[in-house]
Structure 1
């Protein structure tokens, strides 16, 4: 019978209660095992811009820990409203920390510019629904630069962008990749509202209400055009050949062509 192995640590003997386990280092804990975002969604323009805005303001250690928080589902109650992405992040304390990513204020003139930028691309509205937003309108929804937004967190860390803000941003990226309309919701919009605003802007630019066309509005005046006999520009040789096939002889052929010429003359002058 094999004797039980005894392990001694100072004056304490571990009699096979539990084998010693290797503890991972701090660097290994902070290093994410896999990307927080699926490969299929990491290239969405909204995700790329939000990621750049966060990474340019965050220190590398906090960035790594924030990604781990997001991947570990420590971020809850994420909302997109009034130009703010807010969330609660469960950290080292009992109560979760309250986090806000505050983006620049936008007014109605900015909103109108946003719609114009969308319409500058013939596929702008359809691309918007697919999450493939052009750079300029995307900057309206988020920010144009890394220092155009503010980060707030109730944690003790007073750094510019803490790990809880990073976790909130990466969780928001996942949500935006799955539902591009969340970027519009950040500005109090949705797909249907953008379509309505686009129609109003087109009406303003063109001066015609698109709905009047479908409702049977007043038609434009038909221009007056000069009459012209098509026989004057036709190859009469082909006409004689056609009449020859249905005529009894040369006289009937000439009479058929003459009758057609009289018919066109009557239609033009009656």
Structure 2
């Protein structure tokens, strides 16, 4: 009996192909990090066959959603195989912690808005007890409809390489895979950065206690101070206009009107004696 070798995959047109035709696939540190994680799982020759599949267009389609990547990969049979790669998403509470941590550093928000993943982002996740990239095979769920019992098979490996290259183009896909879409993440980061800037501004303001300015409280501001915009002088009795109407009448006159001369006198001094 003559033994037959493995069947060659059917040639397809219009499939997804890697931009890289030889050598390294990943161009950015975050994409290389994902591939390093995959290679650390000891996939061996399956990754090589998967890379060849990804470069010859055997992957017909690929879509990414929360927790799941789904691809159709052409093999040696007429119908393509369905390859799925799942990862645990972060829940809403975990994402709130992540967003606060990212918003706490202006450089993180600036780089993400520019479409770049900060190198220190993994440290942010680690400090929260989380990992942006899966570190063990147990953190990934993989399955394929092909008859190969090995996981990952070459169809899954091909999907992984195309996924890594898509991360190169758009790092927000990594966050989307973990449960936070680009638009929502950026909107939350902008709002949090605004709150951080407002808090920083308030902390920078110098608050002077009343006991520290009793000697100069009633003094007229100097011309230099007014010119510099440090303090704008107003009528000395203007404070009476900021109060609610006082329900007191003395000799048919509102008490606020009776107090105005006293306020003016405290600033202007007593009238000159004739």
- TM-score normalised by structure 1 residue count: 0.58
1:43 aligns with 2:28: yes
Equivalent positions of 1:1-270 (< 5 A) are 34-35=22-23, 37=25, 41-45=26-30, 47-129=31-113, 130-133=115-118, 134-136=121-123, 141-199=132-190, 201=192, 225=213, 227=216, 269-270=267-268
Q: CA RMSD in A?
A: 3.8
Q: Is the 8 A contact 1:91 1:97 kept in 2?
A: yes
Q: Is the 8 A contact 1:36 1:71 kept in 2?
A: no
Q: Could you say if the C-alpha distance between residues 137 and 67 of structure 1 is closer, same or farther in structure 2, counting changes exceeding 3 Å?
A: farther
Deviations 1:113-139 (A, max 9, x none): 221332243211222242324114676
Q: What's the CA shift for 1:100? A: 1.0
How far apart in 2 are the matches of 1:105 and 1:195? 18
Q: What's the CA shift for 1:43? A: 3.0
Q: Which has the larger radius of gyration?
A: 1
Match of 1:147, SS state, is helix
Structure 1: 5+ residue runs without aligned partners? Answer: 1-25, 27-31, 214-220, 231-267
How far apart in 2 are the matches of 1:50 and 1:94? 31
Match of 1:118, SS state, is helix
Q: What's the CA shift for 1:53? A: 2.6
How far apart in 2 are the matches of 1:177 and 1:92? 30
Deviations 1:51-91 (A, max 9, x none): 12321224211110000011111113211112111111111
How far apart in 1 are the matches of 2:176 and 2:85? 14
How far apart in 2 are the matches of 1:160 and 1:57? 11
Q: Could you say if the C-alpha distance between residues 150 and 168 of structure 1 is closer, same or farther in structure 2, counting changes exceeding 3 Å?
A: same
Q: Could you say if the C-alpha distance between residues 189 and 51 of structure 1 is closer, same or farther in structure 2, counting changes exceeding 3 Å?
A: same
Match of 2:152, SS state, is coil
How far apart in 2 are the matches of 1:204 and 1:171? 38
Q: Is the 8 A contact 1:66 1:167 kept in 2?
A: yes
- TM-score normalised by structure 2 residue count: 0.57
How far apart in 2 are the matches of 1:141 and 1:76? 28
> Which residue is 1:10 aligned to?
none
Structure 2: 5+ residue runs without aligned partners? Answer: 1-7, 9-19, 223-265, 269-274
How far apart in 1 are the matches of 2:21 and 2:183? 40
Q: What's the CA shift for 1:205? A: 8.0
